[in-house]
Structure 1
């Protein structure tokens, strides 16, 4: 079978459709045993089924296909057994299934998949006695996002261009292109501050009013161009090209601290910024750790947002451009604030959201001031960046 393009093109989709087909084709009065190498699918149809139904399948991948499979299994009059087998282990049936799946993917025409559920077997909504405000919100959002009107509204040309640029840069740096799902999820990476998550989402959708937007706004036409540079203002120009004090200096400071960390620096671009949550660092020596990747995400996001903040202060609030010393001070303050936040997040009071001391130490290793003289657990000390101490300089 060749899975139609309107369904998610994943292995799990193929497993779910295969189970549905088997359950529908076999006489419902005969017992049936299905062998599958997908633990996720089997657990979804057995162990997690009741909980997912109670929550209205909120946030569950392949929810529509799983609902159909569950309804198909319920129509059977005799037991259906699902058994897990290890994939690619020489098992004859599993190898034949893989061969048929490959043959199906090479078919010229797509197969039609019937996902209709009989009304008497259709379980809709979520149970009120098992839902929470968060789950209810996710369910409502999921319903809203599934509507054609919503999908049409987010199908913007500029958004596609920006995500395409991000995927191209990630492929150039890492050798492989991320999927749209991975890229959009990375914009909400937990290492980004809340203000940056909002900012980068707006940038991806061209949501900020810059450049040509102001051409048709009476008395605000002067905002369309970057006056020091004499060119139309765009997010590309603001973040990576503008000659106003701040932009180039902040990226130089970021490059300097990455070099101190031993991380190879990539020249900033809008695609690189949009893909910051996916890009993994390269090190001059050895392999990068999880702390190195986290460090790169933090300094890239904090530097980007500071450039935007300085631009807004200059263009919208009418402030004078900051001096080089003031730019450096603001940049160091933003990075030091993240170190302070990490030190707080190590404490147990944050529970599931807390950070391990090891991860925090790996993140800021080689950039903490006077690191050699700090105690082994420096997270309780006042060490800060690039040779400075709190209250000094």
Structure 2
């Protein structure tokens, strides 16, 4: 709370919850549920409900009105770290940015594919965190980041450059040479060879 909930997922809900707890006059105690206990089963069910509810906007589910004089209005200036202020400034600036339609479309494609393949719902933040994971080499992370933004110089990129429109079309298939086509759909022999090698290495 002292850090203003900067970078915290579902902070509107958590901020309201913290305020409600502070507004209580009775003592509040948290305990760890023992394994295989009824309480642990209830915790699992609560977690499943929370994940399911995370798919919709918080304002549509709960009244997030905070009781008066129970929540800090923002960041604590004293005792906070510089990185917290920096993240807060970035969050404020990001709110003024207009999302790119192509990026939103790619995020939606990734979200649907993850749901289909693994049965999990992921948010935009989950996808961006996965792309910037420390396990990835910088070049790999940059490739994925550009893919989500459709920033590779392939496909429709060339349609906006005079006399370069032919580069947008795959010479092998005659289809638009976007990233999905190059990686998954192209009938070029090299594509299948690379995927076979990748499967062997994996």
Q: Distance in 2 between matches of 1:255 and 1:83?
A: 47
Q: CA deviation at 1:85?
A: 5.3
Change in CA separation of 1:249 and 1:137 when aligned onto 2, cut-off 3 Å: farther
Aligned length: 186
> 1:56: which partner in 2?
4
What SS does the aligned partner of 1:121 have?
coil
String of CA shifts for 1:84-143, please: whole Å, max 9, x gaps: 25266246xx96xx79x98xx9xxxx9852212356433133234433343223223444
Contact 1:55 1:127 in 2 (8 A): yes
RMSD of equivalent CA atoms: 3.8
Q: Does 1:177 find its partner at 2:119?
A: yes
Change in CA separation of 1:247 and 1:127 when aligned onto 2, cut-off 3 Å: same
> 2:64: which partner in 1?
115
Contact 1:55 1:130 in 2 (8 A): no
Contact 1:159 1:206 in 2 (8 A): no
Stretches of structure 1 that go unaligned for 5 or more consecutive residues are 1-52, 259-295, 297-393
Report 1:1-393 matches (<5 A). 53-76=1-24, 78-84=25-31, 86=33, 89-90=37-38, 113-118=62-67, 120-144=69-93, 147=95, 156-168=104-116, 171=117, 176-181=118-123, 182-242=126-186, 247-256=191-200, 258=201, 296=202
Larger radius of gyration: 1
Change in CA separation of 1:144 and 1:132 when aligned onto 2, cut-off 3 Å: same
Higher RCO (CA 8 Å, separation ≥ 6 residues): 2
Q: CA deviation at 1:164?
A: 1.9
Change in CA separation of 1:222 and 1:83 when aligned onto 2, cut-off 3 Å: closer
Q: Distance in 1 between matches of 2:127 and 2:119?
A: 10
**TM-score, structure 2 as length reference:** 0.67
What SS does the aligned partner of 1:231 have?
coil
Q: CA deviation at 1:245?
A: 7.9
What SS does the aligned partner of 2:30 have?
strand
String of CA shifts for 1:323-346, please: whole Å, max 9, x gaps: xxxxxxxxxxxxxxxxxxxxxxxx
Q: CA deviation at 1:209?
A: 4.1
**TM-score, structure 1 as length reference:** 0.39
Contact 2:111 2:121 in 1 (8 A): no
